[in-house]
Amino acid sequence: MPTYGDFASLLQLGVGIGIGLSLFRAPVDIRTAKLEKVLAAEILALKGSGPTEFRASKRRALQKLRLGYAAVRQDLERYQHPFMILAALGAFANLAALVFVSLYAQQTASDYATYALIFVSSGYFLLLLLLLEVIARWHLGPLKTRLYRIQTSTEQRPLFDAD
């Protein structure tokens, strides 16, 4: 059976990951950055092209989509805030566990303590990341679908709904 001291490095890693997740917004930013770049590039490409009704319609649809994207981005920022707090609490829990295992390093850890320390140091943060990923995909999915429809549209018809 492992001793509590065997978990010190894993808990140190957990503290770092928790602090990192509470300060940086990478999980959501990675999802949104690509969509933002594609929208900007599409609008810019249509700006320089010749003035036809279809191109103008396509550009308006992309600009409307960009407005929708801005609203979704704000929602994602709001949803991410509680996760950042949970990550900071997880970092604190890792720090408290690290102090505990340092004080009782030579004692044997029970099976329950072993699983709890592994979860607190890594599983908890993986769960937070997974939930953030699901939320980001859930909110960005419809925008990506609309963007694809606009990009692949070749017909002379309205490209956006009158929401």
- pLDDT tens, 148-160? 888 887 755 545 5
What does the pLDDT average to over 16-29?
Answer: 74
Q: What is the mean pLDDT of residues 24-51?
A: 78
Number of H helices and E strands in the chain, helices first, is: 5, 0
pLDDT tens for residues 76-123? 888 888 888 888 888 888 888 888 888 888 888 889 988 988 898 888
Stated pTM of the model? 0.74
How many whole angstroms separate alpha carbon 51 and alpha carbon 61?
15
Task: Domain ranges for the chain, please list them.
Answer: 4-152
Q: Helix, strand, coil proportions of the chain in percent (round to 5)?
A: 85, 0, 15
Q: Which residue has the higher pLDDT, 80 or 14?
A: 80
The mean per-residue pLDDT over the stretch 59-70 comes to 88
- Among the listed ranges 3-7, 99-103, 131-135, which one has the minimum average pLDDT value? 3-7
pLDDT of residue 162: 42
Q: Locate 163 and state its tokens.
A: 């929401």
